[in-house]
Amino acid sequence: MKLNRRAILALFSASAVTLVAPMAAAKSPPVYTEDSIAIDGTDTVAYFSLGKPVAGSRAHSVDWNGSTWLFASAENAATFSSDPEKYAPQYGGYCAFAMARGYVAPTEPEAWTIVDGKLYLNFNLEVRTKWQADIPGYIKKADGHWPAPLEN
């Protein structure tokens, strides 16, 4: 079989597309999840009612915004269901500090802050300390970026 220049270029182009396509950036889901479970399975209502992160249970789950949210009790699940926007963390549960810088990052349940009745999560406790240095400024920046970084 004899290949001319045009055939070789066509073959190379097809191979390059095949090799590059799987590396294309995937969109991030609207909520930070692991195995379709929102925010590491932490009960978002507990941040408000108990002032601390509490592990949720599959026995008390709510499907909302494309994710499964777990709660420590049926009462907390019902509270969330009645007004999910009130209890869901800002920026889909992605790190608020990262969002202020224009990208998404996962979060740890222990790295949290409630500001003006809204829950913000951070990558870890060290990042939360940085976040706390200028919360109003970081919220303004993050609000300006959200939800564009999900497309990256």
pLDDT digits (tens, 9 = 90+) for 9-19: 343 333 333 33
Q: Does any domain span residue 19? A: no
How many degrees, rounded to 5, is the angle at CA 57 between CA 103 and CA 92?
Answer: 20
pLDDT given at position 22:
33
Q: Residue 17 has which token pair?
A: 């597309």
Count of structural domains within the chain:
1
Domain that holds residue 132: 33-151
Residue 17 domain flag: no
Q: Is residue 127 part of a domain?
A: yes
Residue 107: inside a domain: yes
pTM here is 0.83
Is 21 within the bounds of a domain?
no
Judge whether residue 57 has pLDDT over 60: yes
